Amino acid sequence: MTDQPDKTKQVLEEAIRQLYGKAAILPSSRNNYLQGGDGQFLGTITTNAYDSESILNPYGPYGSIYSPTSVHNMYSQYGSAYSALSINSPYATNPPILFLNGVRRGPVTKNLYQPNRIETEVFLYLLKHDLPALLAGRISDRIPAPTTARAYLRAADGAFLGSLERNRFAQDSILNRFGPYGSQFSPTSIFNQFGTYGGQFSTLSPFNGFTTTPPVIVVDGRDVAYLTQNSFLAGEKVDPEELDSWLMQRGL
């Protein structure tokens, strides 16, 4: 019964999508913002995450994972991995454009062939971890690693989920049962079955057998594989139960 899509969930998600769609209107005076390739306003970049127009407000029309005008919605045309208008598509022909102080800075895209592009990962990293640098236009080409370990886990929403260091006493290791990334009670742990990044039902969890947005294993700065129990997901994937042997095979 629980394997079937829940109709209550579906209808409420649809209501949220429609309401955010209605709420998404072009504001009059904003200097720092993202604009879709089709001219749709995609949210303002501001330090106030409670601003209803903020791209960082998870309960706003431009920051919610359910909104059709949010780049954080993996199923919207601005966040999908396949849409021509998306920041996440490597084939996007018309990706969103970043404007800072009213000046066009360039397209935010994973498409390597877009001129003057801003790498999506860099944009999202700065958005979440170094907003002043983004607002000041200090956009570098590489994401600083959040750990000294060679391998770590990153959630689909960009959150750092712990290093894959096999030392159980390392503070940021997912194997440290008393650390922020290994404890079953921590909100940033994949082992918290009631958290955003754990359990069988969260779309950001490696233990959800149906998710298309599981965490990614990053090794030496490169995305190497998904950590997931979804055997139907395209690309290299590692079952969480077999992570230890996978790390050993790779000499990590």
Residues forming contacts to another protein in the complex (CB under 8 A) are: 1, 6-9, 11-16, 18-20, 22-23, 52, 58-61, 64, 66-67, 194, 196, 199, 201-203
Least Å distance, CB 65 to another protein, is 9
**What's the one-letter identity of residue 62?**
Y
Between residues 201 and 219, which has the closer beta carbon with respect to another protein?
201
Distance separating alpha carbons of residues 171 and 167, to the nearest angstrom: 9
- Shortest Cβ distance from residue 249 to another protein (Å)? 33
Residue closer to another protein, measured from CB, 34 or 122: 34
Which residues does 148 contact at the CB level (< 8 Å), separation at least 6? 163
* Nearer of residues 8 and 28 to another protein, judged by Cβ: 8
Closest C-alpha to 117, from 144, 138, 98? 98
For the CB of residue 177, give the shortest distance to another protein in the complex, in Å: 22
Compare residues 78 and 246 and give the one whose CB is closer to another protein.
78
Question: Least distance from C-beta 101 to another protein, angstroms?
Answer: 26
Which residues are registered as beta bridge partners of 119? 109
Half-sphere exposure of 226 (CA within 13 A, CB side): 22
Closer residue to another protein (CB): 37 or 61 = 61
Distance CA 237, CA 137 (A): 35
Sheet holding 151-154: strands in order across?
160-163, 151-154, 216-219, 222-227, 237-238
**Residue 133: CB minimum distance to another protein, A:** 28
